[in-house]
Structure 1
Amino acid sequence: MSLNVVTLVGRVGGDPDVKFFESGSVVCNLTLAVDRRTRNNDQPDWFNLELWGKTAQVAADYVRKGSLIGVSGALKFESWQDRNTGATRSKPVIRVDRLELLGSKRDNDAGSMNNYGGDDEF
């Protein structure tokens, strides 16, 4: 048995980066700052998030820099070749399956809509 589940709550670091494809698919990329529980909580941990489909569209419509959100998904690693050195590079990305808007109504302008997951739940 294997398990790859990540659950995070934090504040969005910038407005969503949304891309629409000719096929009709949509992807949204965000960064999320999450406070780590330590004595000197000076620096947050930053995570790269990737959302697809209707969940991505909801993020594009309702999430802004500073929004408090909760996400759950799976950890994956994106790999690429560095153009200058030719070295293989990689970064961790959370592939989000579920998005929750946690801020107040005023924070996210979402009205009563606050919990989104997967394309089949919207």
Structure 2
Amino acid sequence: MINNVVLVGRLTKDPDLRYTQSGTAVANFTLAVNRTFTNQDGEREADFINCVIWRKAAENLANMVGKGAQIGVTGRIQTRNYENKEGQRVFVVEVVAENFQMLESRNKQNGQNNANTGASNNNANEHSRNQQNSTQSNTDPFGGSSIDVTDDSLPF
């Protein structure tokens, strides 16, 4: 049997890091994952997927990323159920994340958070300068000229 999940999305809020009675770290978070198609109004919808991650990975997630951060997650789908205070059976479907990967630099995340919270002009100017510097670093680091490649020179 195969139960593998790969998700790329943005955190809807900061991860909720807690510890079990035995001291094991566990973090709950929700990923907003865009659908690949648009609705009738031409807008892209998203699914909000509940996830849980355990141990050191949970601590790393909580310390390294926050609301709005784009991350990639690999894991598995897990179902469970319990009886709530009213005596009703509650069914839960969640992704148990085994690994995560940050898909943006921390500077970019901070820039987005500053823009979302209405940061001062100084922070906006610094973010703008960082963007200019990253644009400049995308130039050819070797200073070489372009290479002419024709169809005849390709081996396939």
Q: Do these two structures clear the TM 0.5 threshold for a shared fold by scoring above it?
A: yes
Question: Shorter-chain TM-score category?
Answer: 0.7 to 0.9
Matches of 1:76 and 1:25, distance apart in 2? 19
Structure 2 unmatched runs, 5+: 111-156
**Could you give the per-residue CA deviations for residues 39-69 of structure 1, whole angstroms, max 9, x where no partner exists?**
3343210111100011001011011000000
Counterpart position of 2:104: 103
**Could you give the per-residue CA deviations for residues 64-110 of structure 1, whole angstroms, max 9, x where no partner exists?**
000000001010013111322x221112110001100111231357x
Indicate whether 1:5 and 2:38 are aligned: no
8 Å CA contact retained: 1:50, 1:93: yes
Deviation at 1:22, TM superposition (A): 4.2
AA paired with 1:98? N
Indicate whether 1:31 and 2:33 are aligned: no
Once the two structures are overlaid, the 10-residue window that deviates more, 22-31 or 52-61, is 22-31
Counterpart position of 1:48: 50
**TM superposition outliers: structure 1 runs of 4+ over 4 Å:** none
Counterpart position of 1:118: none
Q: Percent identity?
A: 33
Matches of 2:21 and 2:93, distance apart in 1? 27
Deviation at 1:20, TM superposition (A): 1.8
Structure 1 unmatched runs, 5+: 110-122
Deviation at 1:24, TM superposition (A): 2.6
TM-score for the superposition, normalised by structure 2:
0.64
**Could you give the per-residue CA deviations for residues 3-36 of structure 1, whole angstroms, max 9, x where no partner exists?**
0000000000111111123423100000000001
Q: How many aligned positions are there?
A: 107
Highest relative contact order (Cα 8 Å, sep 6+), 1 or 2? 1
TM-score for the superposition, normalised by structure 1:
0.80
